[in-house]
Chain A
Amino acid sequence: APPEWDWRSKGAVTKVKDQGMCGSCWAFSVTGNVEGQWFLKRGTLLSLSEQELLDCDKVDKACLGGLPSNAYSAIKNLGGLETEDDYSYQGHMQACSFSAQKARVYINDSVELSRNEQRLAAWLAKRGPISVAINAFGMQFYRRGIAHPLRPLCSPWLIDHAVLLVGYGNRSATPFWAIKNSWGTDWGEEGYYYLYRGSGVCGVNTMASSAVVN
């Protein structure tokens, strides 16, 4: 992996979104990944619809939570994702109103990624932002800087929040992951969370995945 990488500066990441009072982080994590994959394969950055997943992914549970792996299947089975403009976010479940004619992106498959953070970094630099799930310990009060909670406080087994890895690097010799969150820009560093990289902190390496666009 290169020593640092940031997909934001390469135009592969849409603006930070806000999930509101709804446990829909899984949908934001997945659309962020598909946005990146589509940009890398087709050269166009489109902001994609989370609401489509809330309404039409019947395996997941909308605001009560969901899993990225199920969401990829739903996108594949539905026939793609509409854009944010065409199917805008409401923050609560509605009747599914997906229209195949309005779908602007599709995916062919999804893959699980390595648990080795060095390999994850290499994958990210070459192939794009990665959907991951983490233990959200301390995030309620996070403001800035690189978080590195003690392992017993932030167990990799208690995963409860899905986010998007968009880059990595070092700040004053401290390695970090740059993480796009979905709690608006008035949280963290303009909506981003920085987490220590290299020791599986908060389970960042346990549930990494990506869509595949051929």
Chain B
Amino acid sequence: PAPAQPRAVVARAWRPLDPELLGAARFALKMYNQGRAAGAQAVLGAVQGRVRREGQGSLYTLEATLEEPQCHEPTVCQLPVSRKTLLCSFQVLDELGKHMLLRRDCGPVETRVTDDGNETLKYVLPGLGRNSLSQDFSVKMASIFQKFMHTYNRTYESKEEAEWRLSVFASNLMRAQKIQALDRGTAQYGITKFSDLTEEEFRTIYLNPLLQSEPGQKMHMAKSVEDP
């Protein structure tokens, strides 16, 4: 696993909140609150996110804090009172205005008061270490990334998004090197058109989890091919 870094490093590379991201976040919240009574619904706190577009689809990757309402009945409380803030990761797919929640991952976070009196979230995200890259390496990586963007005709909506994608790209190059080192065949791994996607994004968008989870229709066995 990549070394853990303070999440703030990554957070700066994310897009500041705009109405489009907020719309996706509100949809995720609606799904989160589904089936809850009005007084028991969580509310959105801080939200940050990024968007990846292709064709007529947009994939929103969001991080949000949710505030659970105070729980006064210990036998039904899901969380202790001191942990009423949740940190959630959501992935929302928007196809032609139709939203779909692809991933929801929430957990309680500790909050603490810092010296300047602001409440600050303290948590970490595995990612590419800012300090692990020498300046020379960073320059080379940026140049390779530029070439990748040109080859695959990639554009990003903001500088922050591009910086985030660069960090994903660099991390992926290292993953590709590890896969290369462990391959026993003649395959070559490296930069592909998917190199700016996190593993999670790649799985969510391009792969098919149903293949391992559902039995499907029964088919009879084919007869063996006879010797011609």
Residues on B with beta carbons closer than 8 Å to the beta carbon of A68: 216
| Residue A106, interface by CB 8 Å | no
Interface contact A91-B56, CB-CB below 8 Å? yes
Minimum CB–CB distance from A161 to chain B (whole Å) comes to 5
Minimum CB–CB distance from B202 to chain A (whole Å) comes to 5
Residues on A with beta carbons closer than 8 Å to the beta carbon of B210: 26, 60-61, 64-67
Interface contact A67-B214, CB-CB below 8 Å? yes
| Residue A143, interface by CB 8 Å | yes
Total CB contacts across the A-B interface at under 8 A: 183
Interface contact B188-A140, CB-CB below 8 Å? no
24 A-B Cβ contacts within 8 A? A19-B206, A20-B55, A20-B57, A60-B210, A65-B209, A69-B217, A73-B217, A92-B95, A111-B219, A111-B222, A127-B225, A140-B202, A141-B195, A142-B192, A143-B187, A146-B185, A146-B186, A160-B208, A161-B206, A161-B211, A162-B208, A172-B186, A183-B193, A194-B187
Assuming the contacts A23-B205, A160-B207, asked whether A111 and B221 have C-beta atoms less than 8 A apart, the reply is: yes
Interface contact B187-A142, CB-CB below 8 Å? yes
CA distance A142 to B202 in the complex (A): 13
Interface contact B207-A126, CB-CB below 8 Å? no
Closest 8 CB pairs of A and B: A148-B185, A65-B210, A111-B222, A67-B216, A69-B216, A141-B176, A65-B208, A145-B187
When the two chains form the complex, which single residue of A72, A126, A145, A161 contacts B186, counting CB atoms closer than 8 Å?
A145
CA distance A174 to B56 in the complex (A): 41
CA distance A112 to B218 in the complex (A): 9
CA distance A111 to B225 in the complex (A): 13
| Residue B118, interface by CB 8 Å | no
The residue of chain B having its C-beta at the shortest distance from the C-beta of A188 within the complex is B192
Task: Show the binding face of A for B, using Cβ within 8 Å.
Answer: 19-23, 25-26, 59-61, 63-70, 72-73, 90-93, 110-114, 119, 122-123, 125-127, 133, 136-138, 140-150, 153, 157-162, 171-172, 174, 183-184, 186-187, 194, 196, 207, 209-210
| Residue B197, interface by CB 8 Å | yes
The residue of chain B having its C-beta at the shortest distance from the C-beta of A133 within the complex is B211
Residues on B with beta carbons closer than 8 Å to the beta carbon of A69: 216-219
| Residue B199, interface by CB 8 Å | yes
When the two chains form the complex, which single residue of A25, A127, A147 contacts B185, counting CB atoms closer than 8 Å?
A147
Interface of B is mostly: loop
Interface contact A123-B222, CB-CB below 8 Å? yes
Interface contact A140-B55, CB-CB below 8 Å? no
| Residue B184, interface by CB 8 Å | yes
When the two chains form the complex, which single residue of B192, B209, B216 contacts A187, counting CB atoms closer than 8 Å?
B192
CA distance A59 to B172 in the complex (A): 35
Interface contact A21-B57, CB-CB below 8 Å? yes
Assuming the contacts A70-B217, A92-B95, asked whether A183 and B183 have C-beta atoms less than 8 A apart, the reply is: no
Minimum CB–CB distance from B191 to chain A (whole Å) comes to 8
When the two chains form the complex, which single residue of B187, B218, B222 contacts A147, counting CB atoms closer than 8 Å?
B187
Minimum CB–CB distance from A211 to chain B (whole Å) comes to 10
| Residue B179, interface by CB 8 Å | yes
Of residues A60, A65, A150, which shows the largest number of chain B Cβ atoms within 10 Å of its Cβ? A65
When the two chains form the complex, which single residue of A19, A72, A92, A146 contacts B187, counting CB atoms closer than 8 Å?
A146
Minimum CB–CB distance from B125 to chain A (whole Å) comes to 20
Interface contact A148-B222, CB-CB below 8 Å? no
Interface contact A149-B182, CB-CB below 8 Å? yes
The residue of chain B having its C-beta at the shortest distance from the C-beta of A27 within the complex is B208
Minimum CB–CB distance from B194 to chain A (whole Å) comes to 5
What 17 new A-B contacts, CB under 8 Å, besides A136-B207, A159-B212, A161-B211?
Answer: A21-B59, A64-B100, A64-B210, A65-B211, A69-B218, A111-B220, A112-B220, A143-B189, A143-B192, A144-B187, A148-B184, A160-B207, A161-B207, A171-B186, A184-B193, A186-B193, A196-B185
